[in-house]
Amino acid sequence: MTPRLLAAVLLVAAEAAADPAPPSLQARCAPAGRRACDPRLVLTHEPPPRHLRMRPRVAQRPDAEEAAPKPQRALPAAPTAKATSFTRSPDDERGAALRDLENRVSFSIDLGYQVEAASPSGRASLGGSAPRPGEDYTTLRSYGFGELFGSTRGLGLSSLSTYFAVRFQAAREQSVVLPDMREVPIAPPIATWFTRSGFEARTGWAEMRDFLPASWGLSKLRVRAGSQHVYGPWITHLDGVLLSYDGPILTASGYSGYRHSDYTREQPDRRPQVTGASLRVDLRGLPTPLPLAVQAEYLRLGASEASMQPGSTSGLLQGDWRPGRDIALIGQFRFLDGDVASQRLEVRARYRQVTNLVVDLVHRTEDDWRWDPSLTAPDQEPLTARRYLDLGPVVPQLLGSIRAGTLIAENVDLFVRGAFSADTRSPGDPASAWAAPYLELGGALEVRVRRQLAFGASLLTRSTSRELLAQPIEDARDATQPLPPTESIGEEGFTELGASLRMTLGARRFSSLVELYGRNTRFAPLYEDPLTEVPTDDLRFGGRVTLDAWVGDNVRLFAAYDVSSSLDLAPEITGYRSLRLMMTGVY
């Protein structure tokens, strides 16, 4: 065998061994006049799978043509034209239901109808007499409600955006005529704010941004005017003007206006004036990034004549240090009228993208507000009926919590939580029933099966430390009864169990949820009655069933049914039942 012939044989054998062809691949024959066709040498590609589709080409903006990279050499087209067509399947059209950000006008409307019921049991209440349905309370109540949201972007002016939200309700007031011909309202079966009909403008603002020339260096400036929520030392609903600059390193804002009351529909003529400012410097935006950001907030709230509360000045200082990609440390100081009101330390850590840990410590001082900046002083009218915000004196308190969650085997979510509250007041300081020390433990587990089904379970328990009475007070008839001390009033603890079953057929299609719960609350014994047994615990069960379905791309139907067992503290009724129906349109 000649050397040339031997080399050709070895070359053909090496190529065949390096890239053997599967039997399913077909060969193309070489043109005439060349060497014989070998199925292992010349191969073609099979057509791509039919279930894989390319996304349609997105129109390129004119100002981005110069910055766009040059197109590379195009690859040969697949032999099957049907597999490379840009036709969408029904699954692809499901993504079109999401709101297109290019739309200049968009709005949504929610319409709902709810029915609530509480059947009488015929038993006497803890007050000693059985209430009469239709005279003391209503056994059935129904009402309608709805919300309307709307927004515009670049309508009329390219830099103008608007947003508004309106809430309305239609409820029939229940009343009864007494023998003296006086008409008095009847209590509903479930206490809510749905007591009368009317409209309420919740939010409405207009914003201008990018309206100044870029050469001035103020292209990041924006102005918002109207009813809006402002985030500072406290989230404040403001009717006024906000001026903000949002840069990569510096973020600053200032705002002024009048506080919008969220507890009532009517807004008084003389409302507290609100003034505030914020400043944030993020050193991670420097050419040489530093893992530190500092922030300062200021809020001035004027005096309120309606609630007879004095004005207050709040401040906040915060530092955010992130030494690593998966760890963050946040420290915060909050001030009220020049005194330190609270300190907070938060640590966030992450391990391997699926495990998160959060540790939070908060120390409240006796100079902190009672509820928010609008309630800083005790109620000046002890006999007033407005007592829902009377939380007693503020006492020094240390609160802490630790939360951890992880993902196991890609279908098991595990969450655990622990919390505590410690009393740091001096021996001579007054006590408060709202700031009793406690220890809380809880956890939750969810297991997903075949993507459509998920089973969940949760457990939460708390033990509260209170100064119990040496002997409960005897509840004698026609006698003056002493009131128990404040630190003895309240629950001693509770334990709650929950279970859920969730089914979903995909986002914006259909989903359902079944929830069950049981809760046992233990109360501190205060009174004893030789004729009536006063319960010291309350055991109740309940559940909820929800259905959520999308009809097309713009209409959503939602239904929820809630039910509870009989209540030990309300033996006059058999339990609560509630049915809510809602329809949402997104356009």
283-292 in b/e form (b: 16+ CB < 10 A) is: eeeeeeeeee
pLDDT digits over 70-117, tens only? 444 444 444 443 333 334 444 444 444 455 667 889 999 999 999 998
More confident residue, 488 or 399: 399
Q: How far is CA 142 from CA 133, 168, 169, 194, 195, in A?
A: 16, 15, 11, 10, 10
Q: Domain 212-379, what architecture?
A: Beta Barrel (2.40)
Q: How confident is the model at residue 24 (pLDDT cuts 50, 70, 90)?
A: very low
What average pLDDT score do residues 480-505 get?
Answer: 88
More confident residue, 316 or 535: 316
Average pLDDT, the chain: 80
What average pLDDT score do residues 308-317 get?
Answer: 89
Instruction: Count other C-beta atoms under 10 Å from residue 430's C-beta.
Output: 12
- How much is the pLDDT for 432? 82
Q: Does residue 442 carry a pLDDT above 50?
A: yes
- How much is the pLDDT for 100? 64
- How much is the pLDDT for 447? 96
Q: How confident is the model at residue 67 (pLDDT cuts 50, 70, 90)?
A: very low
More confident residue, 94 or 447: 447
Q: Does residue 13 carry a pLDDT above 70?
A: no
- How much is the pLDDT for 383? 54
More confident residue, 261 or 250: 250
What average pLDDT score do residues 241-256 get?
Answer: 94
Q: Does residue 421 carry a pLDDT above 70?
A: yes
What average pLDDT score do residues 547-557 get?
Answer: 94
pLDDT digits over 347-374, tens only? 999 998 899 999 999 999 989 988 788 8
Closest residue by Cα to residue 431 from 472, 470, 381, 485 = 485
Q: How confident is the model at residue 29 (pLDDT cuts 50, 70, 90)?
A: very low
Which of 81-90, 153-162, 552-561 is the most confident on average? 552-561
In this prediction the pTM is 0.74
- Which of 120-134, 194-208, 394-408, 440-454 is predicted with the least confidence, judged by mean pLDDT? 120-134
More confident residue, 150 or 103: 150
CB within 8 A of 188, min separation 6: which ones?
A: 116, 137, 138, 141, 174, 194, 195
- Which of 2-6, 176-180, 577-581 is predicted with the least confidence, judged by mean pLDDT? 2-6
Please return the burial class of 566, using the count of CB atoms within 10 Å of its CB with bins 0-12, 13-18 and 19+.
middle
Helix (H) or strand (E) holding 10, with range, is helix 3-18
- Which of 283-297, 379-393, 476-490 is predicted with the least confidence, judged by mean pLDDT? 379-393
Taking the C-alpha atoms of residue 265 and residue 261, their distance in angstroms, rounded to an integer, is: 8
Q: Which bin fits 79, alpha (ψ -120 to 50), beta or left (φ > 0)?
A: alpha
What average pLDDT score do residues 156-161 get?
Answer: 88
More confident residue, 264 or 1: 264
Q: Does residue 27 carry a pLDDT above 80?
A: no
Q: Does residue 480 carry a pLDDT above 50?
A: yes
More confident residue, 404 or 473: 404
Q: Does residue 44 carry a pLDDT above 70?
A: no
Contact 259, 374 (CB under 8 A): yes
Q: Does residue 58 carry a pLDDT above 60?
A: no
Identity of the residue numbered 176: V
Q: Does residue 43 carry a pLDDT above 60?
A: no
How far, in whole angstroms, is CA 17 from its chain's centroid? 61
Q: Does residue 533 carry a pLDDT above 50?
A: yes
What average pLDDT score do residues 389-398 get?
Answer: 79
Which of 13-27, 254-268, 338-352, 569-583 is the most confident on average? 338-352
Q: How confident is the model at residue 311 (pLDDT cuts 50, 70, 90)?
A: confident
Q: Does residue 387 carry a pLDDT above 80?
A: no
